[in-house]
Amino acid sequence: MYEQISHSKLNDILIELAPDIKEKNLQHFYIRLGSNFYAIYTLFQQLYGERKDFDIQLSSLVKTLIQSYITRSKALRKLDLTREKDHDWFLSQKWVGYALYCKEFSGNLKTLQKKLHYMQDLGINMLHVMPILDCPKGKSDGGYAVRDFKKINAEVGNLKDLDSLIKNLKSRDILLTLDVVVNHTSNTHEWATKARSGDLKYQNYYHIYDDRKMPDLYEETMPEIFPETSPGNFTWDEEMQKWVMTVFNDFQWDLNYKNPEVLIEMIDIILFWANRGADIIRLDAVAFLWKKIGSTSQNEREAHLILQLMKDCCQVSAPGVLFIAEAIVAPVEVIKYFGEDAINAKECEIAYNATLMALLWDAVATKKANLLNLGIKNIPAKLERATWLNYARCHDDIGLGFDDNDIRMAGYDPKSHRNFLVKYFTGEHEGSPARGVAFGINKKNGDARIAGSMASLSGLGVALDSGDKVALEASIKTIDLLHSVIMAFGGIPLIYYGDALGVLNDQSYLLDDDKKSDSRWVHRPYMNWNKAELRNVQGTVENRIFKSLKKMIAVRKEVSAFADHNNRELLQVNNPHLFVFSRFDVRNQYSRVLVICNFDTNAQQLDVSDLRKRGFFQYDSITDIYSAEVINITDNHINIPPISFYWLST
């Protein structure tokens, strides 16, 4: 959009920067800058308009954008143009993601290349290598406490190794997701070190206070994220003799986005990794970006303005790159991280669907889909050029952030239901086969979350130990069922490493001083590659789980109704154990799938009379596109076996 004030400012900035710009071929850059500048200017002004150095900061931002574009390779610029033409390429059903910790998965970046064929065997084409940036040994939060944002953690390799991995991935058409931890740095980051030594410029990069006055005000309303290991939101720094805001661990210093220099630094870092060849940038903990006294300091309006700025800027210099929002917050809030408008107020194209994830585990524990149905119904519609990252397990814990009203409507009391879930998944509930570990127990308010691998939470460990065949079947079927939902729901399924093989909890973290206090490490296993080979041995547990998942992925890729074009309809049925939804392709009326999931350990009947009125089940038999089995309809009913799913072609 053309607007006089911002445009004349931009002209001044460009004239000032001109002598330093050698490259002539900036046509695409200038067009994008011109298109987005009014938005960039307006957002920057809303955030920093009061500052005396506003013009200087704005000019520094534009300089960052030009410099980043100039260093963007020809190949990546070409990719930007290709993606521009095919602007909703990432909504296709062909994408299947995989998340792993490099060190635990393969040792380092070099050896990771030797395992790519394993992922391809499964059908993976989007790889998220969890944080690999330089961080101190020990106090690193699995890489989420970054010491140097432009350096690779020496434990896994160096920039050259990453370049070589990226080249390899590109030749296989596998996308790469890298993390940029935008909310905080390690307390050993150069900015933090300088702040400690008294440098005011860098003290301004963080939230630092002389006494408890401000921290106490903040604490009145800010929840605790890691109550066991890092209670409160502030840490006393001996060297500085000051309080520092540390919302997560005490060694993770929260960045101060009230300072525009921080935002510009982070945009520069995002573009640095975009230029290195990352296709997708995962923005960690985005809900926390703006702190405000008297609030929880999550989901603040300014946090959204910051993300809009990051997106607008990225679109100017590296438009082909997508953002993933990691915001584990209530559905009404999560949806906002896509932005309010795909053109005027866009933010991240992809967001973690933590709601679905937690609801799925609720269905596993209760064997009923009533809370799942209610919870999904209440997820607001999202923008068109936006998609979910659907997962059943990831590197973090399972939080029980369901809506209290939904819990009540499902027929439970919120407090005792959450209590039941924690007990169920930690194996304390009578008859529960799950063997997870509690995480983040908050003694003050009784909250707790759950850690544990998909297999251990699904009862595989207990079944193998006891040799109980029925229990073994149930656990494998639970794993399949969970995977089947994330494949079919609409969005990009994200497989967590180990889950395709039924990897159990890894207790070795208890022997590691740096990990033992954080139970999330129980589900961040060292891969056992000999066990992975068992996937090729007929009849083994590894073979059964891997084979089913591989088949689901292959079928998903073939079915256009599984692409995410807001083409899902949740269907209410009168059996509480069933979760039923349809997927359709607006451009192809023949591609329609009815997904039916039975979470109960007994077979369930589905009365299809109502569904028949809605155009489903027009014949007496119907094919399951996953198993190729023909399902018969008898007296208007179909039978769904215990813990299983159908993908019916209607």
Task: Give catalytic residues, as residue numbers.
Answer: 284, 326
CA distance 247 to 231: 9
- Please, which residue, 223 or 642, has the CB nearer to ligand OTU? 223
Residues constituting the chain: 650
Please say whether the dihedral angle defined by the alpha carbons of residues 236, 239, 240 and 246, taken in this order, is positive or negative.
Answer: negative
Least CB distance to ligand OTU at residue 326 (A): 5
> How many Cβ atoms from other residues are within 10 Å of residue 2's Cβ?
9
- Secondary structure (3-state) at 456: helix
Complex with ligand OTU: residue 68 or 252, whichever CB lies closer: 252
Stretch that binds ligand OTU, among 51-59, 79-87, 280-288, 461-469 (CB under 6 A): 280-288
Q: Does 104 participate in binding ligand OTU (rule CB under 6 A)?
A: no
449 backbone dihedrals φ, ψ, rounded to 5°? -120, 180
Could you tell me where the DSSP H helices lie in 146-206? 159-171, 190-196, 200-203
397 interacts with ligand OTU by CB under 6 A: yes
Cα–Cα separations (whole angstroms), residue 326 to 211, 307, 466 = 32, 12, 38
Phi/psi at 64 (5° precision) = -60, -40
Whether 463 contacts 435, CB under 8 Å: no
Least CB distance from residue 131 to ligand OTU, whole Å? Answer: 8
The phi-psi region of residue 138 (left if phi > 0; otherwise alpha if psi is between -120 and 50; otherwise beta) is: left
Nearest to 176 by CA among 265, 276, 86: 276
Give dist(CA 606, CA 523) in Å, integer. Answer: 36
Q: If binding is defined by CB under 6 A, does position 144 make contact with ligand OTU? A: yes
Place of tokens 């794993």: 479
Q: Which of 66, 278, 305, 327 binds ligand OTU (CB under 6 A)?
A: 327
CB of 340 to ligand OTU, least distance (A): 20
Q: How far is the CB of 255 from ligand OTU (least distance, A)?
A: 12
Number of residues that bind ligand OTU (CB under 6 A): 17
Q: Is 537 exposed, middle or buried (0-12, 13-18, 19+ CB in 10 A)?
A: exposed
Pick one of 268, 396, 542, 624: the residue that binds ligand OTU (CB under 6 A). 396
- Per-residue binder mask for ligand OTU (CB under 6 A), 36-55, x = binder: --------------------
Member of 112, 174, 255, 287 binding ligand OTU (CB under 6 A): 287
* Enclosing H/E stretch for 182: none
In this chain, which of 312, 326, 347, 585 binds ligand OTU, going by CB under 6 A?
A: 326
66 binds ligand OTU (CB under 6 A): no
Q: Is 250 in the site for ligand OTU (CB under 6 A)?
A: no
Which lies closer to ligand OTU via its Cβ, residue 196 or residue 395? 395
- Which 433-452 positions form the footprint of ligand OTU (CB under 6 A)? 449
What is the nearest approach in angstroms of ligand OTU to the Cβ of residue 289? 10
Asked if 425 interacts with ligand OTU (CB under 6 A), we say no
Residue 163 CB, shortest distance to ligand OTU, in Å, is 26
Closest approach, Cβ 394 to ligand OTU, in A, equals 8
Candidates 390-398, 459-467, 618-626, 627-635; binding stretch for ligand OTU (CB under 6 A)? 390-398
Give SS3 for 97.
strand
Do 595 and 580 touch, CB atoms closer than 8 A? yes
Does position 279 bind ligand OTU by CB under 6 A? no
Upper half-sphere CA count for residue 391 (Cβ side, 13 Å)? 25
- Residue whose CB is less far from ligand OTU, 32 or 304: 304
x/- mask, ligand OTU, residues 217-236, rule CB under 6 A, reads --------x-----------
* Phi, psi values for residue 227, rounded to 5°: -60, -30
Binding site for ligand OTU (CB under 6 A): 141-142, 144, 181, 225, 248, 284-285, 287, 326-328, 395-397, 399, 449
